[in-house]
Structure 1
Amino acid sequence: MQGQIQPRGRTSEGSQSVEEQPKEEKAKPPISDYKIITVSNDTTFVDTTLTIVEDYRFNYLRKDRFELLPFSNVGQTYNRLSYEFERKNLLPEFGARARHFNFFEVEDVDYYRVPTPFTELFFRTVFEQGQVLDAFFTVNTSPNLNFSVAYKGMRSLGKYQHILTSTGNFRATVNYYTPNEKYHLKTHFVSQDLMNEENGGLNELSLEQYLAGEEEIEDRSRLDVNFEDAQSTLFGKRFYLDHRFYLNGAGETENFFVRHKLNFSDKEYLYEQGSAHELFGPAYETSGLRDETSLENVYNEASLNYSSDLFGEIGFKGGLTNYNYGYNSTLDLETGYIANRLKGDIISVGGNYAKTIGDFKFHADGMINVSGDFEGNYLQAGLSYSLLEDIRTLVTVSTSSQAPNFNFLLYQSDYVNYNWQNNFSNVSTQKLDFAVVSPRFFNLNVEYTRMANYAFFGLNQENQVRPMQYDETVNYVRAKAEKEFVFGKFAFNNTLLYQKVLDGASVLNVPDFITRNSLYYQDHWFQKALYLQTGFTFNYFSNYHMNAYDPVLSEFYVQNQQEMDGFPRVDFFFNGKIRQARIFFKLEQVHTLLTGNDNFSAPLYPYRDFGVRFGLLWNFFL
């Protein structure tokens, strides 16, 4: 009988001892048993395949960057080539949005359920003296209790003067449910610090040398920058808890359940500079400048939900938010009095509904603030329909009203021009989204967005960066299509995006056209011991008035004085998969070996030169 202890030595005549008998290999669990669960309970499993999509995601963000234009160093910010205005926040967000691309929000943290311990190691080279490493480990100590821990660290010196980046993201999660499946809990803790040295971009002489392509500045460290004594850092800590209790146990046809969510977060943005620079105007201090902005936010939400096959899922919810944003001192200026804090409590109520009828799936979710200093609401409804087994359509309608980010409303700085307190109107957004998803044919997404009271950073008549609000309507449409063609061992993957700002082009600048095309070869080599993909990826966007970057605010601002040329980006890649290890080798900007490079990520900030990058993604199943 299995599990019974056998004596050592000889057994019956002709039989072998236990030590000599061949051991039975324990069957490995299927890969589909290694579950990844999002905060909204969507479930997938660990993917160990090598595809062109994995190549697109093999970068510092570990996301597809099709609509982002990176700065010259890894870990710096990204200029946006396109926008998705998805607003489901009832309160203003924290500022310094240019530093948030690698910031793990609640929806970025996943939870796990695995049959054996699972480890993933991500490594990639950077530009001079450093690397990116993301190490992850998860284990189920019992079938219903999972722990995971991860740390993503990066350091890169960069090719230009004073653009060193150093970041760290720590995450820890717990996923638990009781044996009777009536109680479910997901919780996580994250601690993050994202530091960038700031140099203000190239100065006037270096800008001329860069555009002229002078031979002596092929070593980019020879180019002078505007200053070399500043850095910006975003800090963040968050504890999140999402738990629910089912009356009949999860998965039952008819059920009542109560749910509670707690989000306690603390953010801080710090800008430090050794001495004041004329680029930002006059300053109250000539040296030791230090701007520190903080936000403490505690959000509690309770909901009561009912689900059945007849009525679908119905939920009613209420939320309480306590926020405290601002600074440690008030300012009494000639232009007016500037407070130091925006703080208070917000009470909100809402509901959600979901129902499936045949091939139709409908969902709706909405919430509104009913008490407090900030008005806000959102409502989103969607209907999906499966035309065929591999063709699904989805229509989503959403509307929202939300105050602009906190740094639009209140900001303090040692620089005179960076102090303000505004009473801006809510940004009102309506959006219509139509999507077709078909792995066999193509993916298509068409969006129309209308915004009133759009808030942005721009330049005033004195050429100073200031928060502004557009008093007319912005109408914005975009269409994105994806399709891959396979010809034997060759494939041609294409992503095309067309967009147009119908009204408000002076405050929302985007290129009309963006494309990415990958032509590559794929096959098994060495008796299927190696699976490889190799080829070229071509990226291009059309000319437009590219947003400029402000390091004091860590924000991008609208500029309409200089139209920047669109430019191609060509990379050669050679990727391989050996067992559970995926190896990535890339020659970035390979075309610049022939054409040179005089392109920009933002005004004054040059784009990346030719570079050789290497990395790997390794999964371990114990």
Structure 2
Amino acid sequence: MRKIFILTLLIVLCNHTFGQNTISQFGTSASGADSNRYDRNGNPIDTTAVNDASTIPIGLYSWKVDERLGNITETPIDTITHAFQNTNDTGGPTGHYTYLGNLGAPRISHVFFERKSASQEFFTDPYDFTVKGASDVVYTNTKSPFTNLTYYKQGDGRYGEERFKAYFAVNVNKRLGFGFDIDYTYGRGKYANQSTALFNGNLFAYYQGDKYNMYFNFINDNLKVAENGGLSDDRYVTHPLDMNEGKKSYNTYDMPTNLSDIWNHNTGYHAFLTQRYNLGFYEDVQEENDTISKKVFVPVTSFIHTIKIDHNRRKYISYDDAQNQDYFLNNYLGTDSTDVTQYLSIKNTVGISLREGFNKWAKAGLTAFATFEHRRFTLTDTVPGQPEARMPIDYKENVLSVGGQLIKEQGRMLHYNVLGEIALVGEDIGQFTIEGKGDLNFRLFNDTVRLDANAYIKNEQPIFYFRHFHSKHYWWDNNDLSKIMRTRVQGKLTIDRWKTQLSAGVENIKNYTYLDNASVIATEATETTPATYKNNVVVRQQSDNIQVFSATLKQDFKLGILHLDNEVTYQKSSDNNVLPLPELVLYHNLYLEFALAKKVLNIEMGADVRYFTQYYAPDYAPAIGQFYVQNPETRYKLGGYPLVNGYINLHLKRTRIFVQMYNLIQGTGEKSYFLAPHYPLNPRILKLGISWNFFD
């Protein structure tokens, strides 16, 4: 906590120092929402979600940048009060994720259409709760320095969980700005040997000129996670009376686990720079209620360059005590306690863009681009003639691809974005992607109705770590994997006035590539003890087609101060042995929303529930930090447990506070509150959170 206090003090001092410099350039910030900020449909942007618009000063707005071509997308300022209590939930704000119980633990969505394909940064994919990519970095332009400090706390000091977040943005002038973002998560864990210590930080800078634009960010990840392999016997949770032998009551941290003294440690460094030079002309524009016109630059053609460098290092640490040796089927590295895997990628993209509306060849925006990527992977390998010796070996891959984009963003009625790319040379030769999205907006019964559609066809090379992986406990070289063909079509209907959103889609996958459970039974189950097995993981491909259908309805109701928010997802997999999914995923939130003290204090108080139907939820492989299919000989279904949380949210001017009681009904029924096999959720626990915004 001393480090957090020092860091907070430095941020506030920076805020004050830069505030003296920038306010003199822009003038003092005024209260009230910026009436000139509208979305692309012409509707005012709601960045507060509360009635008091004075929480956002004039001249403050934020955006994100596309990794490929540097296109920007505006994003709301983080001042949202509604559901603030769920912003620190590893299971997601509406409970869509399977995870290991602890704060910041690895996770995977049990809603299929929310899952991301495995990436080359394989080992940090399950940590998307805290890990950011270049396209997730938020840039902010502000007339006066903006700072957000957020602190979360749950449980006691010895077994509690904490998270500290800080965001700072400042402008040197109206074109040049910079800032940083820090996220530190420390979950000690309610169960033994499951602590998480996750640090993520990024620095960003930008320049938005008439002819030259630049966006830069640098991200550092440092993720250290203890692996316990889950409970050695689920009955410590499901049937505790059977386990205490009439003498002892087990606390959660006294329950025996399968593993100890094992860690996965991932470190990453990521640099991103995109820049473009614009050709165009200046035109005179006269603002409303102003008799003086000013020159405004209109870009016509842009030359684009983007470079992205990623370096990841994964270290697996395992001490060879008897318990750990009994858990795994193989031990390829003998007495070595660590194995290390590294990944380096350098990707350059160049392009030329004919801007929308200013070229007779392209009424929409038209961009052509080429990308060259160099990848290097370092694995452990054997030494010829020395069976017991090991050495690092590099695998190098180079890929040249070309592509194009057709985009229409102007206007209020119709927008679309179509992009295609194909690999011409290198390891991924023949890989291609065609993806598009669009929206149509029209009036119906005095309301705006929005139809969104997106679709893609992808022919993807399986990632490197599906093709090659060498480690202490898992080892494979799959040189015969076929490309994965994926086809998806999805649509969404939104009617804001009715608070209704309906989406549906279908995907077909050929050569679905996944991690399978190749564990071997060590001892058979008896009446008093479950079966034990030797853990092993392999990569498999399903050559037959797999179809997934999914539909989601979001419908909110309001009666005075009483609110009921609802989300229902139905999904169906054609092969539940290879790709198991719960058929129903539900979220409901019943709460009161009202204001006190002359509407200065906004209050939300209520309870929400997360629920999914039983299915063969994915198992977790601690030696690789990934989720995989359960062993068919020992698999069992999870789900059917309503996770209920009660809460109260307070919003006072620039401060948000919540108090939440997590897992209210813990202790009922058989206490089967598992999301992943052998990894129970935290028991009932009190959570707190507070967030401050500073605009000067």
How high is the TM-score relative to the length of structure 2?
A: 0.80
Match of 1:94 in 2: 122
Counterpart of 1:244 in structure 2 is 276
Mapped pair 1:616 → 2:690 = yes
Counterpart of 1:371 (choices 403, 409, 425) is: 425
Question: For residues 272 and 112 of structure 1, do their structure 2 counterparts lie closer, same or farther at Cα, with a shift above 3 Å needed?
Answer: same
Paired letter, 1:420: D
Asked if structure 1 preserves the Cα contact closer than 8 Å seen for 2:85 and 2:660, the reply is no
Q: Does 1:36 align with 2:68?
A: no
AA aligned to 1:266 is: H
Alignment of 1:188-227 (within 5 A): 188-204=217-233, 207-214=234-241, 216-227=248-259
Give the corresponding residue for 2:337. Answer: 289
Q: Which stretch shifts more, 269-278 or 289-298?
A: 269-278
Q: How does 1:17-36 map to 2 (within 5 A)?
A: 27-28=30-31, 30=33, 31=56, 33-36=59-62
1:409 is aligned to 2:409: no
Letter in 2 for 1:353: L
> Does 1:77 pair with 2:106?
yes
Structure 2 counterpart of 1:212, one-letter code: H
Q: Deviations over 1:537-556 (max 9, x none)?
A: 01110010011000111111
Deviations 1:87-142 (A, max 9, x none): 799x8553453344422112211211111000001110144255100011110011
Question: Equivalents in 1 of 2:81, 2:639: separation in Å?
Answer: 34
1:384 match: 439
Equivalent residues of 2:85, 2:689 under 8 A apart: no
Q: 1:301 to 1:249 in 2, by over 3 A?
A: farther
Residue 350 of structure 1 is matched in structure 2 by 403
Cα distance between partner residues in 1 of 2:477 and 2:261: 25
Q: CA separation in 2, counterparts of 1:371 and 1:102?
A: 35
1:259 pairs, out of 296, 304, 309, with 304
Task: Give yes or no for contact 1:567–1:599 (8 Å, CA) kept in 2.
Answer: yes
The aligned counterpart of 2:215 is 186
Name 2:96's counterpart in structure 1.
67
Which residue of 2 is the match for residue 278 of structure 1?
326
Look up the match of 2:553.
Answer: 481
Does 2:526 correspond to 1:496? no
- Counterpart position of 1:20: none
Alignment size in residue pairs: 588
**What's 2:505 paired with?**
447
Indicate conservation of the 8 Å contact 1:34/1:45, yes or no: no
1:56 correspondence with 2:56: no
Does the 8 A contact of 1:253 with 1:308 survive in 2? no
For 1:9, the equivalent position in structure 2 comes to none
| Structure 2 residues not aligned, in runs of 5+ | 1-26, 34-55, 67-71, 283-295, 522-535
Which shifted more, 438-447 or 313-322? Answer: 438-447
Indicate if the aligned counterparts of 1:182 and 1:249 stay in contact, CA closer than 8 A.
no
Q: Cα–Cα, structure 1 residues 143 and 25, in superposed 2: closer, same or farther, change >3 Å?
A: closer
Displacement of 1:600 in angstroms is 1.1
State whether residues 96 and 553 of structure 1, in contact with CA within 8 Å, keep that contact through their aligned partners in structure 2.
no
**SS of equivalent to 1:322:** strand
- CA gap of 1:115–1:288, structure 2 versus 1, over 3 A, is same
Which position in structure 1 is the counterpart of 2:264? 232
Deviation at 1:208, TM superposition (A): 2.6
Percent identical pairs in the alignment equals: 20
Deviates more, 1:214-223 or 1:362-371: 214-223
User: Which moves more between the two structures, 274-283 or 141-150?
Assistant: 274-283
- Report how far residue 387 of structure 1 moved: 2.3
User: Which residue pairs with 2:8 in the alignment?
Assistant: none
Mapped contact 1:322–1:343 kept (Cα < 8 A): yes
Cα separation, 2, equivalents of 1:109 and 1:479: 30
TM-score, scaled relative to structure 1: 0.89
Distance, in Å, in 2 between the alignment partners of 1:504 and 1:565 is 19
Deviation (angstroms), 1:406: 2.1
1:521 aligns with 2:579: no
| CA distances 1:227-272 after superposition (whole Å, capped 9, x unpaired) | 2110001211001001111101698666011111100110111111
Kindly tell me: are residues 259 and 421 of structure 1, through their superposed partners in 2, closer, same or farther at Cα, counting changes over 3 Å?
same
Secondary structure of 1:248's aligned partner = strand
- Shifted more, 121-130 versus 343-352: the winner is 121-130
Instruction: State the distance in 1 between where 2:437 and 2:688 align.
Output: 42
Moved more, 518-527 or 536-545: 518-527
Report which stretch shifted further, 40-49 or 530-539: 40-49
Q: How many Å separate the matches in 2 of 1:122 and 1:109? A: 17
Q: CA deviation at 1:469?
A: 0.6
Superposed, which structure 2 residues align to 1:291-440 within 5 Å? 291-309=339-357, 311-330=363-382, 340-355=393-408, 359-375=413-429, 376-388=431-443, 389-415=447-473, 417-440=474-497
Could you tell me which of 92, 109, 124 is aligned with 2:152?
124
Q: Which amino acid is the alignment partner of residue 304 of structure 2?
A: R
Is residue 173–residue 189 contact of structure 1 (8 Å, CA) maintained in 2? Answer: yes
Deviation string, structure 1 residues 393-432 (Cα, Å, up to 9, x no partner) = 01222111112222211111122x4343443111111100
- State the Cα RMSD in Å: 2.6
